[in-house]
Amino acid sequence: MIRHLAHLCFITNDLERIVGFYRDRLGLAVKFRFTAADQSVFGAYVAVGDTTFIEFFDQHL
């Protein structure tokens, strides 16, 4: 039986758009972003409650 979901991971072709939707439309907090050496953002963690997260990664990793 599943008692807890820690995180889900999705690969997206438009990282900023999907993170913006969850942040702006659903009111969820972006907990942190993954950045490359050149400071480009390639992923983000969005909180869904206290201990559950949705992680999004750019498909061009």
Q: CATH number of the domain at 12, please.
A: 3.10.180.10
pTM, 2 dp? 0.86
Q: What is the dihedral of CA 39, 47, 51, 31, to 10 degrees?
A: 30
Instruction: Please give the tally of structural domains in the chain.
Output: 1
pLDDT value for 2: 86
2 domain-assigned: no
pLDDT value for 60: 85
What is the average pLDDT across 25-50?
96
Structure tokens at 26: 């659903």
pLDDT digits (tens, 9 = 90+) for 3-36: 898 999 999 999 999 999 999 999 999 999 999 9
34 domain-assigned: yes
36 domain-assigned: yes
27 domain-assigned: yes
